[in-house]
């Protein structure tokens, strides 16, 4: 582990009560995943301690939102690990920004592998937090990895439904088929060495007719509030998946069999003003007990990425202290 010096970072701060380390570990497919490991300074490393893995929003990196949650939960006494998903940030995977939800889920299991083999971690008490798209990835992972003892999601996006149907099921089947056709045609271009194209993500500048949801994301990803460009990456393509791979989400159904996670507990947190709350509500409806759905009054989707005055850390703290003994 490599200790990272300094206490001020682009989108988050590290308390003097916590030390942050840069770590790398391999997933099952021998791809190196990168993470920030946070350890409370007063923790007894000679004993076994509970730990929490945190995943970033889709298109983001660990420095954007995941580290906010990891650093704050570490202040509350947990070992925490914020990870970069494969193909994003400092984790391996080519081409960059590729979509492969099964590997994203695998990254969380690999993080359990890493934490569960540390002398100071209690491998029987490891939980997960997924923010935005990672909410659906941690559910996908937990369904087949019982080592994840407690699952929390915040501002969750079901990346499968969001791509198949769009918000509020506003996308028609014909529109979906056109997206699939465009991606398939782009595969030919890239196969013969053509330029990689990107889709979705956050716009680079605001126009008079920019949609309010895009404005919400712009305020985080394209301003000093949350902007972050990993080393070797281009600002032009941050947050944007590759066009030819993004259709992989069309085959992604993370909420199918979600009830099989029981009796492990699930906590769904969403803003009561969030454009994405339909996904947390859907997951809650399908999940078996024990489960809880929490609405944060006055909060939108992106508000819960980094606004520590709105993020219900007390609720997360109580949830994990109850279920990670």
Note the pLDDT of residue 7: 52
Note the pLDDT of residue 5: 58
18-54 pLDDT tens trace: 999 999 999 999 999 999 999 999 999 999 999 999 9
Domains and CATH numbers, the chain: 2-167+249-323 (3.40.50.1820)
Note the pLDDT of residue 312: 98
The DSSP call for residue 280 is H
Answer whether 126's CB lies under 8 Å from 50's CB: yes
Note the pLDDT of residue 172: 98
User: Residues in the chain with pLDDT < 70?
Assistant: 5-10
Note the pLDDT of residue 10: 62
Note the pLDDT of residue 65: 97
Query: Tokens 């069309």 identify what position?
Result: 250
The DSSP call for residue 99 is -
The model's pTM is 0.97
Report phi then psi at 8, rounded to 5. -115, 130
C-alpha distances (whole Å) from 27 to each of 32, 38, 254 are 6, 20, 20
Note the pLDDT of residue 8: 54
Note the pLDDT of residue 13: 80
Q: Are strands 148-154 and 266-271 parallel, antiparallel or unpaired?
A: parallel
Note the pLDDT of residue 1: 76
Residue among 240, 250, 238 at smallest CA distance from 178? 250
DSSP string, 79-98: EEEEEPPTTSTTS--SSTT-
């Amino acid at each position: 582990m490599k200790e990272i010096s300094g206490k001020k970072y682009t989108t988050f701060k590290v308390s003097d009560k916590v030390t942050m380390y840069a770590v790398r570990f391999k997933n099952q497919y021998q791809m190196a995943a990168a993470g920030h490991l946070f350890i409370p300074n007063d923790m007894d490393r000679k004993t076994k301690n509970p730990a929490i893995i945190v995943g970033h929003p889709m298109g983001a990196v660990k420095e954007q939102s995941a580290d906010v949650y990891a650093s704050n939960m570490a202040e509350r006494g947990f070992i925490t690990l914020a990870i970069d998903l494969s193909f994003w940030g400092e984790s391996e995977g080519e081409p960059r920004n590729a979509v492969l939800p099964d590997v994203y889920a695998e990254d969380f299991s690999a993080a359990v592998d890493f934490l569960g083999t540390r002398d100071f971690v209690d491998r029987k008490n490891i939980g997960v937090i997924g923010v935005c798209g990672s909410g659906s990835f941690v559910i996908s992972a937990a369904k087949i990895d019982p080592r994840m003892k407690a699952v929390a999601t915040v501002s969750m996006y079901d990346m499968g439904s969001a791509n198949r149907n769009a918000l509020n099921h506003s996308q028609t089947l014909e529109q979906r088929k056109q997206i699939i056709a465009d991606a398939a045609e782009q595969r030919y271009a890239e196969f013969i060495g053509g330029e990689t194209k990107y889709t979705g993500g956050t716009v680079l500048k605001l126009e008079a007719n920019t949609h309010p949801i895009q404005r919400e994301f712009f305020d985080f990803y394209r301003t000093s509030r949350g902007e972050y460009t990993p080393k070797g990456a281009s600002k032009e393509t941050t947050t944007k998946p590759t066009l030819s791979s993004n259709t992989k989400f069309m085959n992604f159904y993370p909420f199918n069999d979600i009830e099989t996670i029981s009796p492990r507990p699930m906590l769904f947190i969403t803003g009561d003003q969030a454009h994405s709350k339909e996904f947390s509500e859907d997951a809650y409806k399908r999940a078996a007990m024990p489960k809880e759905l929490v609405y944060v009054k006055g909060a939108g989707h992106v508000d819960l990425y980094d606004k520590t005055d709105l993020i219900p850390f007390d609720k997360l703290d109580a949830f994990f202290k109850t279920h990670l003994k």
